[in-house]
């Protein structure tokens, strides 16, 4: 009774779930048990790619669904044939953007803060000559996020990175290198600043 906005969020979620489930089905993404979608995410799935969602996933795409007010809906995008996004059980994300050219794997119980971007690709080549030849041929390398990781809002997780089990990524961090399990990183570029107690 003291948080009426939560009641409004649940009513809105229940009313929009049938349409959201249809949207998932039309985009070839299986709706798993316990999935809660607050607002409809954006799904950009290459027909010969996979987006695999775990159980009890919470996706917050509506600005009203979180006090941090996501700047955009959750985006799940696979860019090529063979690309995969795999999200484990009991995860949650708010306005997060996941773009896979090859592979993004997210373990169980991972929390992804508001407006985080996780991308396994540079999108575009660095050299002007390469961009003229193929503007979409940026370098790519898989991203792995192990179990129990917490990623603070506005963080950017770049290609080839592994976030070790139980690590914490500070808000606004730009992660360009692997993060050891149980460590806390922050900054641009992100560096180890502590250990999880």
User: Which residues are known catalytic residues?
Assistant: 124
In 3D space, the residue among 196, 150, 156, 154 whose CA is nearest the CA of residue 177 turns out to be: 156
Question: Across the chain, where does the E strand assignment appear?
Answer: 36-38, 42-45, 50-52, 58-60, 75-78, 84-87, 92-94, 97-100, 103-106, 111-112, 117-119, 143-145, 150-151, 156-157, 162-163, 168-169, 174-175, 183-187, 190-195
């Amino acid at each position: 009774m003291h948080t009426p906005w939560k009641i409004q969020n649940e009513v809105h979620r229940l009313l929009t779930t049938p349409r959201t489930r249809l949207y998932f089905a039309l985009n070839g993404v299986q709706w798993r048990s316990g999935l809660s979608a607050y607002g409809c995410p954006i799904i950009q799935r290459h027909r010969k790619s996979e987006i695999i969602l775990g159980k009890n996933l919470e996706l917050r795409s509506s600005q009203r669904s979180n006090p941090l007010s996501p700047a955009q809906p959750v985006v799940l995008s696979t860019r090529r044939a063979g690309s995969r996004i795999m999200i484990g059980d009991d995860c949650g994300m708010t306005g997060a953007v996941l773009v896979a050219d090859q592979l993004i794997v997210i373990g169980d119980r991972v929390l992804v803060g508001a407006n985080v971007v996780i991308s396994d690709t540079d999108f575009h080549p660095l050299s002007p000559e390469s961009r003229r030849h193929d503007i979409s041929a940026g370098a790519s390398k898989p991203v792995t996020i192990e179990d129990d990781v917490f990623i603070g809002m506005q963080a950017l997780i770049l290609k080839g990175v592994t976030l070790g089990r139980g690590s914490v990524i500070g808000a606004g961090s730009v992660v360009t290198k692997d993060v050891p399990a149980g460590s806390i990183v922050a900054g641009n570029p992100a560096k180890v600043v502590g250990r999880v107690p």
